[in-house]
C-alpha cells in the first residue's frame, strides 16, 4: 500500500521534473554561491544568467545559493558566472568590475567580502610616538579630503546622485573628527569652519539639482582651503580657479591632480581654469 | 721591426675579436600546413614548429641572429622582421628585398642585432599572416631586466578563408555586418535600425552623401586571441608583483582597446623604443603596433584581467595576471553607431572629401569616434549626451577632456633620449591617404603601389613625410628598416616609432634620417589595405645590387601583381519567372561586368549585356564603358516599343555595341547613360541593396525604355538569399539568389 502511495507521489513529481528540465538538453546542474542582498538582486542575477533553453538559474537570497541548470554542450558554469559578475555580483569564480558594483541600486550593495583589500603601496613604519600621533591627526583630515575629492569628481561628471551620496559621506567624516587630537593651529581653524562645512555638505546632499550643489560647493571649497593650510597632508593638493563661474566673479576648488577638471561646468567646459597654488 | 708589426696586428685582432665577440643565436623554424579549431570548425592554417602564434624568439642586444626557415608548405612563403634595423636583403619582403622562400626549401636569415626591445615577425607573402604566421621577437637589453616579463601576442581569427575575406571586401558584401548585428543590435545600420533609434534623418543624410554603413572595422572575426587562446593565464605572478607586459598586435586588421582590472597601466615603450613612463587608464593598440607596459597586481589570491577588446567592441580576449578568484575588468559598451554616422555626415563634403572644420587634428588627440563611446559621451538619451551639444568645439572630440578616463595618445609619448635628426638637407613628401570603401580601393595620393614609381631618396638626407588621412578609416602606417620620429611637440625628445596610427582627418608629420641602402616598404599594415595597394617604396639612390634578386625588374612586377589582382563575383537569382544574374571581374580601376536575364519561355525573352570599363576619380563615381548587348524575345504581332526619346525598338532580336557612362549619384543611385551602334539612347537609374532591415535588401530600377524593376532580397546565409522581384519584361517572380 505504502509503495503504491509512493508511486502516486513519484509519478507526478517525475512528470513535473521532466517537463521543467525538458527544455534544456544535455542538462547539468551545479550549485554555487553568489553574493547579493535582496529580491532585486535575485532578479538581476537571474536575468543576467538565464538563456532560453540553455541556462536556468535559481538564486536564493537567504542562503546565497544558486542552482544552475545548463546545456552542457552549449555553455559552462564559468561563462554563466562571468555574466553574473559583469552584472555586478561577486561569486565563487569571478569578482564584479568595480563600475558594475557601483552601478547597483543602494539596497543591492552587498558587502564585498570576497574582494581582497589592496595592499598598501607604502607602509611607513615609524617608531616615534609623536609622529604616529601626528599621522592619526593627518588621517582624520585625510578622510575628509578624500570624501571632498570624490564629491568634486562627481560634480565634474555632472552626476547629481553620486554627488549627493558623497556629500553624506563627507558630513559623516566631519562629525567623526576628534578635536582633542588637534594641535593649536588646527583647532583654531577647525572651530571656524566645521559648522559651515557640515551645513554645506548637508545642503549638497539634499539639493535636487546640480546647480544648487555647485553653488554650495563653491563656499565649501573656500572652507576646505582654509582647513588644508593646516592639515599637513602627505600628498600635494592643487588649488584651482575658474574665472567664469558665479557670474564671472570666479570660483575655486581643490584637486589632487594638476590637470584641470572643472567641477562647476563639467564637460561643458571641462578644462576651463588653472592651478593658482600648489599646497604641499 | 717586423716582429713589432705582427705583435701589434695580433693584439689588434684579439681586441677586435673581444669587442665584437658575437654570440650567434640560432633558431630553426619549420613552416607547415596544419588544421586548427579556434572557433568551432576545423580550418586550414599555417603553423611554425607546430604552434600558432609562431614561437617567441629571444635574443640579447649584440647577438647575431641566425634563423633557418624550413618551408614545408606547398606554396612559397617569407618572413619579415618587423621593426628591426638590418641589411636590406634580410628584411624579408619577397621580390622587393629578399628572395621568396620556395616550397620545400630552406632559407637562412643572418643579421646582427643592433637594438633592444619588443618586436615581432610575420609572413609578408599574400594573406599568410591572417592564418597563423606571426610571432614575438624579443631582444633583451645587455643589462639584466629588473622586472618579470610576459608577452601578449594579440591576433584575430576568422573561419572564412582569407582569400574569401579579401574578395568579399572588394564586392562590398555586407555579410560581416550581418554577423556583427547578431551579437550587437544595430551594427548593420539598416533603415529599420535607424527608425528604432529615431535616427532616420541621419541614415538618409548618410546615404545622400554616398556612404555605406559605417564600420570601424571591415572584417567579422570569429575569435580574438591572446597567445593563441581566447583567455590566457599567467598564474605565476603574486600580489605586489610589477610585471612588464610586452604587447604585440599581430592581428591582420583589428585594433584593440586595452584595459586592466588591477588599476592603472604604465606605458614604458612603444614599437621597441623606450618612452618616458606615462600612466593611463586605457590605450588603443593599432594593427602591428607594440606597447610595453608595466602593471601591478594589487591584492592576494586574485587573478586580474588584462582585457583586449576589438575596436568594434564585438568580442574580447584576455590575459589573467595572478591566480585565485578572477577580478573582471569592466567591458566596453557597444558603440553608438548612429552618433558616428551623424558625425560622419558633418565631416564629409558632397565631393567625398573630408572636412575637419578647422580643427587641425593630429596625434590621436581628437578622436571623432568618442561620439560613439558610451563611457566617454554617455549612453544614448542620457543627460550627459545632451550636455555635449553646448560643449566647446575644441573639446568636442577630446576624450581626455571629456571624462576622467585617461586614454593614451601620441602627444603623451616622449623619448627619454634626444632623437634630433642630423643636420642635413630635408626631402619633404606629402602623402594623402585615400580610399574608397565601396569598392575597397586603398591608396596614397589616389595611386596604388603598382601605379607609382619608387620614391628615390639619398643616403645622408632627412626625409619628412606629412601625412593627411582623407579616408574614412584609420590606418597604421609602417616603415620598414627605419625608425621615424613623430613630430609631436616634444621637440628634441619626439618619440621614435615604426608604426603610426593615423585617424580620419588627421595630419601627422614623421621624419627619419636616411642611413641605409636598398628598397624599403612603407605601407598600411591592415593586411587587406596593403594587398589593395596602400603603400610606397622608398629606394636609395646608387644602392649596390641585391644578391637575392638577380632580376629586380621581373621581381618588382611580381610584387606589383599583388594590388593589381582581379576579384571575381557572381550572382544569380533562380526565380519562378526566369534567371537574373550578374558576374563581375574587377580590380583597382578596371571592371568587366556581364548581366543576364534569361526567361524560361521565349516570350519572356533572353537578354544579356556585357560592359568593360574603367573607374575614374578619387571616389570612383565615374565609370565609362564599352559593351555589347544581345537580346531575343518572341513577341506578339511584332509589337514595337517606343522610348522616351521617341525612338522605336523591336526588342525581338537585337545585338548591338554600346558606349556608355555610369555615374554614382547621391543615395548611391547609379545613373547609366548609353548609346548603341543603332543610335539608340538609353538612360537608366538604379539603386541596389538598400538595407531595409538587418537582412532585407531592396533594389529599384527605371529606364528610358519604360522598363522597370523592383526587388526584395532576404539574406539567409553568406551565399544564399530568398528573393522576390517584379520586372516589366518578366513579371512577378520569386526564388532564391546565389551569390559567390
Q: Tell me: the pLDDT tens digits for B305-326?
A: 999 999 888 899 999 999 999 9
Q: Does residue A261 sit at the B interface (CB-CB below 8 Å)?
A: yes
Q: Of A82, A118, A156, which is closest to B328 when you measure between CB atoms?
A: A82
The residues, any chain, with a CB within 8 Å of residue B13's CB and separated by 6 or more, are none
Of B239, B325, B327, the CB nearest to A119: B239
| Any domain includes A124 | no
Q: Are residues A51 and A153 in the same domain?
A: no
- Decide if B416 is inside a domain: no
Instruction: Find cell 618586436 and name the residue.
Output: B119
Let me know: does B401 contact A270? Beta carbons within 8 Å.
Answer: yes
Q: Which of A25-29, A196-200, B483-487, B581-585 has the highest mean pLDDT?
A: B483-487
Give the best residue of B330, B378, B399 to mutate against chain A (max A CB count within 10 A): B330
CATH of the domain at A251: 1.20.1420
Task: Provide CB contacts within 8 A for B515, sequence distance 6+.
Answer: B459, B460, B482
Do B192 and B53 lie in a common domain?
A: no
In a domain, B74, yes or no: yes
Residues A211 and A255 occupy one common structural domain: yes
Give me B66's grid cell. Answer: 641566425
Of A208-212, B88-92, B337-341, the poorest mean pLDDT is in: B337-341
- On whether any CB of chain B is under 8 Å from the CB of A118, the answer is yes
| Contact between chains at B392 and A158 (C-beta distance less than 8 A) | no
Q: Does A100 touch chain B (CB under 8 A)?
A: yes
Residue of B nearest to A116 (CA): B299
Indicate the DSSP class of residue A268: G
- Judge whether A240 lies within some domain: yes
Residues B385-389, mean pLDDT to the nearest whole number: 42
Are B588 and B491 contained in the same domain?
Answer: no
Q: Of B298, B327, B391, which has the smallest distance from its Cβ to A95's Cβ?
A: B327
Give the per-residue pLDDT at A14: 47
**Burial group, residue A11, by CB count within 10 angstroms (0-12, 13-18, 19+):** exposed
Name the residue range of residue B499's domain.
426-546
Q: How many domains does chain B have?
A: 5
pLDDT above 60 for B521: yes
For the segment B671-701, what is each residue's pLDDT rounded down to a tens digit?
888 888 878 888 888 888 788 877 788 888 8
Give me the residue label for grid cell 585617424: B503
Most A CBs within 10 A among B370, B376, B395, hence the mutation to make, goes to B395
Choice between A39 and B343, residue whose per-residue pLDDT is larger? A39
Q: Is residue B510 part of a domain?
A: yes
Q: What is the pLDDT of residue B391?
A: 44
Give the three-state DSSP class for B596: strand
In this predicted structure, the answer to whether residue B201 has a pLDDT above a threshold of 80 is no
Q: Say what the pLDDT of residue A131 is.
A: 45
Q: A159 and A96 in one domain?
A: no
User: What is the average per-residue pLDDT within B115-129?
Assistant: 95
B723 pLDDT more than 90: no
Which CATH number is B494's domain given?
2.60.40.420
Number of domains making up chain A = 2
CB contact at 8 A, B475 and B466: no
Judgement on whether residues B387 and B474 belong to the same structural domain of the protein = no
Chain B contact set for A118 (CB, 8 A) = 298-299
- pLDDT class for B509, splitting at 50, 70, 90? very high
- For residue B164, being part of any structural domain is answered with no
Instruction: Give CA–CA dist A56/A68, Å, rounded.
Output: 6
| Residue B38 domain flag | yes
User: Does A139 lie in the same domain as A78?
Assistant: no
* pLDDT number for residue B3: 59
A254 lies in which domain range?
A: 133-279
Residues B495 and B397 in one domain: no
> Of B197-206, B215-224, B385-394, B458-467, where does mean pLDDT reach its minimum?
B385-394
Give the confidence band of B649 by pLDDT, cuts at 50, 70, 90.
Answer: low
Residues B430, B402: one domain? no
**Chain A residues with CB-CB distance to B403 below 8 A:** 157, 267
Answer yes or no: are the C-beta atoms of B729 and B597 closer than 8 Å: yes
Q: In whole angstroms, how far apart are CA A252 and each of A192, A223, A224, B324, B645?
A: 19, 11, 11, 45, 77
Max CA distance (Å), chain B: 118
Distance from CA of B37 to the nearest CA of A (A): 16
C-alpha cell at B230: 581566447
Q: Are residues B205 and B230 in the same domain?
A: no
Which residue in B475, B54, B406 sits closest to B248, CA to CA?
B54
CATH number at residue A89: 3.30.70.100
- Do A92 and A154 fall into the same domain? no
CATH number of the domain where residue B628 is located: 2.40.160
Q: Are residues A101 and A151 in the same domain?
A: no
pLDDT at B635 (0 to 100): 64
Cell for B447? 595611386
How far away is chain A from the Cα of B278, in angstroms, using its nearest Cα? 14
Residue A4 lies in a domain: no
Say yes or no: A207 and A137 in one domain.
Answer: yes
Select the residue from B40, B278, B325 to test the A interface by mutation, using most A Cβ atoms within 10 A. Answer: B325
Nearest residue in B to A266, CA atom? B402
Residue B414 lies in a domain: no
Mark whether A161 and A64 lie in a shared domain: no
Measured distance CA(B208)–CA(B326) in Å, rounded: 49
- Residue B385 sits in the same domain as residue B430: no
Query: What's the Cα-to-Cα distance from A270 to each of A236, A266, B372, B395, B423, rounded to whole Å?
Result: 22, 5, 19, 8, 42
Q: Is A201 inside a domain boundary?
A: yes
The verdict on B16 and B41 lying in the same domain is yes
Q: Give the tens place of pLDDT for each residue, B9-30.
A: 545 444 444 445 568 999 999 9
| Whole-number Å distance between alpha carbons of B392 and B403 | 14
Q: Is B123 on the interface with A (CB under 8 A)?
A: no
Does B328 reach chain A within 8 Å, measured CB to CB?
yes
DSSP one-letter string for B171-234: TT--HHHHHHHHHSTTTT--HHHHHHTT-HHHHHHHHHTT--S--S-SS--SEEEETTBSEEEE
Residue B361, domain member (yes or no) = yes
For residue B438, give the 3-state DSSP assignment.
coil
- Residue B499: in which H helix or E strand, if any? strand B499-502
Q: Are residues A152 and A96 in the same domain?
A: no
Give burial (CB, 10 Å; 0-12/13-18/19+) of B477.
Answer: buried
Q: How far is A179 from chain B (nearest CA, A)?
A: 35
- State whether residue A94 sits within 8 Å of chain B by CB: yes
Is the pLDDT at B722 greater than 70? The verdict is: yes
Q: What is the pLDDT of residue A19?
A: 43
Residues of chain A with pLDDT under 50: 1, 12-21, 120-133
Nearest CA in chain B to A158: B384
> Residues A208, A260: one domain?
yes
A82 touches chain B (CB under 8 A): yes
Range scoring the smallest mean pLDDT among A65-74, B257-266, B380-389, B463-472: B380-389
Q: Does B391 touch chain A (CB under 8 A)?
A: yes
Asked if residue A3 belongs to a domain, the reply is no
8 Å CB contact between B254 and B247 = no
Q: Among B172-181, B399-408, B437-446, whose mean pLDDT is lowest?
A: B172-181
The answer to whether residues A44 and A180 belong to one domain is: no
Same domain, residue pair B341 and B311: no
Same domain flag for A100 and A237: no
Question: Are residues B121 and B69 in contact, defined by beta-carbon separation less than 8 angstroms?
Answer: no
Cα–Cα distance for residue pair B471/B621, rounded to 1 Å = 15
**Cα–Cα nearest to B232, from B148, B310, B317:** B317
Amino acid at each position: 500500500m505504502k509503495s503504491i502511495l509512493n508511486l502516486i507521489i513519484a509519478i507526478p513529481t517525475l512528470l513535473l521534473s521532466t517537463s521543467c528540465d525538458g527544455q534544456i538538453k544535455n542538462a547539468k546542474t551545479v550549485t554555487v554561491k553568489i553574493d547579493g542582498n535582496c529580491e532585486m538582486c535575485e532578479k538581476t542575477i537571474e536575468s543576467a544568467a538565464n538563456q532560453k533553453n540553455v541556462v536556468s538559474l535559481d538564486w536564493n537570497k537567504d542562503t546565497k545559493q544558486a542552482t544552475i541548470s545548463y546545456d552542457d554542450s552549449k555553455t559552462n558554469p564559468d561563462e554563466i558566472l562571468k555574466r553574473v559578475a559583469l552584472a555586478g555580483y561577486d561569486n565563487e569564480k569571478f569578482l564584479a568590475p568595480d563600475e558594475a558594483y557601483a552601478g547597483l541600486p543602494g539596497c543591492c550593495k552587498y558587502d564585498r567580502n570576497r574582494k581582497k583589500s589592496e595592499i598598501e603601496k607604502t607602509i611607513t613604519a615609524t617608531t616615534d610616538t609623536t609622529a604616529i600621533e601626528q599621522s592619526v591627526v593627518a588621517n582624520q583630515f585625510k578622510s575628509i579630503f578624500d570624501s571632498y575629492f570624490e564629491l568634486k569628481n562627481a560634480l565634474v561628471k555632472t552626476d547629481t546622485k553620486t554627488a549627493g551620496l558623497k556629500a553624506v559621506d563627507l558630513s559623516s567624516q566631519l562629525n567623526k573628527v576628534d578635536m582633542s587630537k588637534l594641535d593649536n593651529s588646527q583647532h583654531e581653524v577647525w572651530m571656524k569652519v566645521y559648522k559651515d562645512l557640515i551645513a554645506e555638505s548637508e545642503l549638497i546632499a539634499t539639493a535636487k539639482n546640480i546647480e544648487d550643489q555647485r553653488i554650495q560647493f563653491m563656499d565649501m571649497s573656500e572652507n576646505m582651503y582654509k582647513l588644508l593650510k593646516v592639515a599637513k597632508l602627505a600628498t600635494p593638493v592643487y588649488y584651482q580657479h575658474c574665472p567664469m563661474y558665479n557670474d564671472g566673479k570666479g570660483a575655486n576648488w581643490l584637486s589632487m591632480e594638476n590637470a584641470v577638471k572643472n567641477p562647476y561646468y563639467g564637460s561643458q567646459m571641462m578644462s576651463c581654469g588653472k592651478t593658482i597654488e600648489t599646497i604641499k | 721591426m717586423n716582429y713589432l708589426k705582427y705583435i701589434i696586428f695580433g693584439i689588434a685582432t684579439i681586441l677586435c675579436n673581444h669587442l665584437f665577440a658575437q654570440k650567434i643565436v640560432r633558431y630553426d623554424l619549420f613552416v607547415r600546413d596544419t588544421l586548427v579549431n579556434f572557433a568551432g570548425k576545423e580550418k586550414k592554417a599555417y603553423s611554425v614548429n607546430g604552434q600558432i602564434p609562431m614561437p617567441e624568439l629571444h635574443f640579447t642586444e649584440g647577438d647575431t641572429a641566425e634563423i633557418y626557415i624550413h618551408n614545408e608548405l606547398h606554396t612559397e612563403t617569407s618572413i619579415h622582421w618587423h621593426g628591426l634595423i638590418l641589411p636590406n636583403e634580410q628584411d624579408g619582403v619577397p621580390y622587393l628585398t629578399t628572395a621568396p622562400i620556395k616550397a620545400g626549401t630552406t632559407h637562412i636569415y643572418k643579421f646582427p642585432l643592433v637594438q633592444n626591445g619588443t618586436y615581432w615577425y610575420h609572413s609578408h607573402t599574400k594573406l599568410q599572416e591572417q592564418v597563423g604566421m606571426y610571432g614575438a621577437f624579443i631582444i633583451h637589453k645587455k643589462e639584466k631586466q629588473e622586472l618579470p616579463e610576459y608577452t601578449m601576442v594579440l591576433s584575430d581569427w576568422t573561419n572564412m578563408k582569407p582569400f574569401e575575406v579579401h574578395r568579399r571586401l572588394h564586392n562590398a558584401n555586407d555579410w560581416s555586418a550581418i554577423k556583427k548585428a547578431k551579437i550587437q543590435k544595430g551594427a548593420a545600420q539598416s533603415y529599420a535600425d535607424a527608425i528604432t533609434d529615431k535616427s532616420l534623418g541621419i541614415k538618409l543624410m548618410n546615404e545622400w552623401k554616398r556612404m555605406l554603413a559605417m564600420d570601424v572595422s571591415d572584417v567579422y572575426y570569429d575569435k580574438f586571441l591572446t597567445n593563441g587562446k581566447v583567455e590566457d593565464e599567467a598564474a605565476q605572478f603574486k600580489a605586489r608583483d610589477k610585471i612588464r607586459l610586452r604587447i604585440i598586435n599581430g592581428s591582420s586588421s583589428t585594433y584593440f582597446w586595452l584595459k586592466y582590472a588591477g588599476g592603472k597601466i604604465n606605458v614604458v615603450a612603444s614599437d621597441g623604443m623606450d618612452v618616458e613612463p606615462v600612466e593611463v587608464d586605457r590605450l588603443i593598440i593599432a594593427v602591428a603596433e607594440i606597447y610595453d607596459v608595466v602593471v601591478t597586481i594589487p591584492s592576494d589570491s586574485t587573478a586580474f584581467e588584462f582585457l583586449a577588446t576589438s575596436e568594434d567592441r564585438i568580442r574580447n580576449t584576455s590575459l589573467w595576471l595572478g591566480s585565485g578568484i578572477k577580478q573582471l575588468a569592466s567591458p566596453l559598451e557597444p558603440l553608438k553607431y548612429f552618433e558616428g554616422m551623424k558625425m560622419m555626415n558633418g565631416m564629409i563634403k558632397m565631393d567625398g572629401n573630408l572636412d575637419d572644420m578647422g580643427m587641425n587634428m593630429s596625434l590621436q588627440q581628437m578622436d571623432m569616434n568618442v561620439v560613439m563611446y558610451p563611457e566617454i559621451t554617455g549612453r544614448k538619451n542620457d543627460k550627459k549626451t545632451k550636455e555635449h551639444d553646448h560643449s566647446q568645439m575644441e573639446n568636442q572630440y577630446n576624450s581626455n577632456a571629456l571624462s576622467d578616463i585617461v586614454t593614451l595618445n601620441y602627444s603623451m609619448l616622449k623619448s627619454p633620449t634626444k632623437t634630433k635628426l642630423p643636420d642635413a638637407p630635408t626631402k619633404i613628401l606629402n602623402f594623402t591617404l585615400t580610399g574608397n570603401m565601396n569598392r575597397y580601393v586603398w591608396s596614397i595620393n589616389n595611386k596604388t603601389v603598382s601605379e607609382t614609381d619608387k620614391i628615390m631618396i639619398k643616403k645622408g638626407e632627412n626625409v619628412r613625410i606629412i601625412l593627411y588621412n582623407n579616408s574614412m578609416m584609420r590606418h597604421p602606417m609602417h616603415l620598414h628598416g627605419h625608425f621615424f620620429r613623430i613630430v609631436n611637440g616634444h621637440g628634441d625628445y619626439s618619440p621614435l616609432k615604426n608604426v603610426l596610427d593615423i585617424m580620419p582627418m588627421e595630419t601627422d608629420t614623421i621624419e627619419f634620417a636616411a642611413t641605409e641602402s636598398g628598397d624599403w616598404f612603407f605601407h598600411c599594415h591592415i593586411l587587406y589595405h596593403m594587398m589593395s595597394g596602400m603603400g610606397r617604396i622608398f629606394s636609395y639612390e646608387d644602392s649596390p645590387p641585391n644578391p637575392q634578386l638577380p632580376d629586380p625588374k621581373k621581381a618588382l612586377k611580381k610584387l606589383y601583381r599583388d594590388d593589381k589582382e582581379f576579384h571575381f563575383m557572381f550572382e544569380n537569382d533562380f526565380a519562378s519567372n526566369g534567371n537574373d544574374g550578374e558576374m563581375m571581374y574587377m580590380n583597382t580601376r578596371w571592371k568587366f561586368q556581364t548581366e543576364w536575364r534569361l526567361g524560361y519561355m521565349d516570350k519572356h525573352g533572353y537578354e544579356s549585356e556585357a560592359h568593360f570599363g574603367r573607374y575614374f576619380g578619387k571616389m570612383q563615381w565615374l565609370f565609362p564603358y564599352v559593351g555589347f548587348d544581345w537580346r531575343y524575345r518572341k513577341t506578339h504581332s511584332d509589337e514595337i516599343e517606343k522610348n522616351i526619346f521617341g525612338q522605336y525598338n523591336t526588342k525581338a532580336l537585337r545585338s548591338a555595341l554600346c558606349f556608355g557612362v555610369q555615374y554614382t549619384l547621391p543615395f548611391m543611385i547609379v545613373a547609366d547613360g548609353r548609346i548603341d551602334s543603332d543610335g539608340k539612347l538609353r538612360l537608366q537609374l538604379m539603386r541596389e541593396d538598400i538595407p531595409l532591415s538587418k537582412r532585407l535588401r531592396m533594389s529599384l530600377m527605371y529606364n528610358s525604355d519604360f522598363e522597370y524593376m523592383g526587388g526584395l532580397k532576404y539574406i539567409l546565409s553568406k551565399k544564399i538569399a530568398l528573393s522576390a522581384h517584379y520586372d516589366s519584361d518578366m513579371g512577378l517572380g520569386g526564388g532564391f539568389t546565389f551569390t559567390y
